[in-house]
Amino acid sequence: MARDTTDFSPIEGVDELVSYLAAGCKPKDAWRIGTEHEKFPFYVDGNRPVPYEGPNGIRALLEGMQGLLGWEPIIDAGNVIGLVEPTGQGAISLEPGGQFELSGAPVETLHQTCREGNAHLAQLREVAEPLGIRFLGHGGSPKWTLTETPRMPKSRYDIMTAYMPKVGSRGLDMMYRTCTIQVNLDFSSEADMRRKMQVSLKLQPLATALFANSPFTEGRPNGLQSWRGDIWRDTDNQRSGVLEFCFSPRFGFADYVEWALDVPMYFIIRDGCYFDATHVTFRQFMNGALLGEVNDGLPTMGDWANHLSTLFPDVRLKRFLEMRGADGGPWRRICALPAFWVGLLYDVAALDEAEALTKDWTFAEVVAMRDAVPAQALSTPFRNGTLREIAREALAISRRGLAARARTNGEGSDETGFLAPLDEVVARGTTSAEEMLNAYRTRWGGSIEPAFLEYAY
């Protein structure tokens, strides 16, 4: 989750909010790849969760990383809650339950993405291993109850924790017990944004299926392949899910703004303090609803940027598009997720093919797919087949897109190799979740403890 913004420029009207999003348009040679990945810290001794405080806690981990990297600390109410690279090229942040996130720098190639991820994990091991800490690559916390899960001292999370049970049954599980890998990608124009938004919204359930990696909860199978995907079905549906209006052939920045204006806010920041704003929408805020409640009670562009970061559709529009459907997973998945989407969206011919593949998919079909995928993953029925066949087609398109980009490393290899983990899933017809469940029933002897060894970074 990104660092909260402070930009005190006043908002004069809705047109400014539309212009804010439109300012994300970039020429193709300026398109970048920004990968984010989260993982669960745990103590090797007993596979226990890691609290914030204590000599071997999350704070100590962050301070160790600060010393190693020289990055600037992000402070909230006196607590270090993240680090940022001094020139803005990447950040480390904490999710509510201590999930450790790298928000990667915007890079040009997947080779750079993979090097960045490997360097981060090596640096993390250097600091974490003396503390007795390792990290688990799962989409959902497989062992700890919500009560056992630590809570990070981050002001926005206090507000969200109080609010989530009012608007859905699964919000606290989402916050405290899930991890994701996501990628942020650029667009060149409103029309390009529209095409990429529509294709990626339709294919997001497929990404959930391909990356399904959360079959355990509280030490036993939960009956799902992507528990995380199921959690998002009832977290806060005012701000989550598949957005039907995005399917319109006329969808544009203004439509997203109009939707966002009527979603309840979480907070505003004034004088370094967070104020609960969950009782008003951003439109009401613009109309003066917080005047008299807080100093400077009219909205700024920083408030708008922060509000956009609290919306959770399957594909999120900011000044770039965020692909949000995948479970967290082992280190190879950190490169595979951006590879899948870059191949589909960053080559013109591949985007044409992906658009043709999904063109007549209806909103109702995509929602039904999204509802079925957490349990059935690649076996989810779709029209006359299953998602496994769609996955095979989508991967072939992505591979052609990556080949056409022709971005090679020092050994002359292009980016298509990063799709290998997904090729394996489709070829064998079983997801990572199904492989884990099979191990649980056989060689793991009905215990999830071996997962902390086999799926650790």
Contact 363, 244 (CB under 8 A): yes
Q: How far is CA 368 from the centre of its chain?
A: 22
Per DSSP, 190 falls in state H
Q: How is residue 423 written in tokens? A: 């090729």
Percentage, residues of the chain above pLDDT 70: 99
Q: Hunting for tokens 């929602």 — which residue is that?
A: 367
In a domain, 422, yes or no: yes
Q: What φ, ψ does residue 163 adopt, rounded to 5°?
A: -85, -35
In a domain, 308, yes or no: yes
Predicted pLDDT of residue 365: 98
Distances (CA, A) of 445 to 213, 451, 453: 19, 12, 15
Instruction: Report the pLDDT averaged over residues 41-54.
Output: 98
Q: How is residue 156 written in tokens? A: 């926005």
* pLDDT band with cut points at 50, 70 and 90 for residue 1: very low
Percentage, residues of the chain above pLDDT 90: 97
In a domain, 6, yes or no: no
Identify the burial level of 56 via C-beta atoms within 10 angstroms of its C-beta, where 0-12 means exposed, 13-18 middle and 19 or more buried. Answer: middle
Q: How is residue 279 written in tokens? A: 């009782």
User: Range of 177's domain?
Assistant: 14-451
- Ramachandran category for residue 41: left, alpha or beta (phi over 0 → left; psi -120 to 50 → alpha): beta
Average of per-residue pLDDT values in the chain: 97
In whole angstroms, what is the distance from residue 335 CA to residue 437 CA? 24
Predicted pLDDT of residue 124: 97
Predicted pLDDT of residue 111: 98
Residue range 148-174, pLDDT digits in tens: 999 999 999 999 999 999 999 999 999
Predicted pLDDT of residue 2: 47
Q: How is residue 213 written in tokens? A: 């990696």
Give every CB contact of residue 230 below 8 A, 6+ residues apart in sequence.
170, 224, 374, 375
What SS3 class is residue 103?
A: strand
Predicted pLDDT of residue 354: 98
CATH number (domain holding residue 386): 3.30.590.20
Instruction: Report the pLDDT averaged over residues 325-352.
Output: 97
- Of the candidates 87, 78, 85, the residue with the CA atom closest to the CA atom of residue 102: 85
In a domain, 83, yes or no: yes
Residue range 308-322, pLDDT digits in tens: 999 999 999 999 999
In a domain, 392, yes or no: yes
Instruction: Report the pLDDT averaged over residues 273-285.
Output: 97
In a domain, 378, yes or no: yes
In whole angstroms, what is the distance from residue 382 CA to residue 387 CA? 6
Instruction: Report the pLDDT averaged over residues 72-85.
Output: 96
In a domain, 5, yes or no: no
Predicted pLDDT of residue 7: 85
Name the packing angle between helices 190-210 and 348-358 (round to 10°). Answer: 70
Predicted pLDDT of residue 3: 56
In whole angstroms, what is the distance from residue 37 CA to residue 232 CA? 18
Residue range 24-33, pLDDT digits in tens: 999 999 999 9
In a domain, 4, yes or no: no
How far apart, in Å, do the first and last CA atoms of the chain sit?
Answer: 21
Give the count of domains, the chain.
1
In whole angstroms, what is the distance from residue 39 CA to residue 314 CA? 20
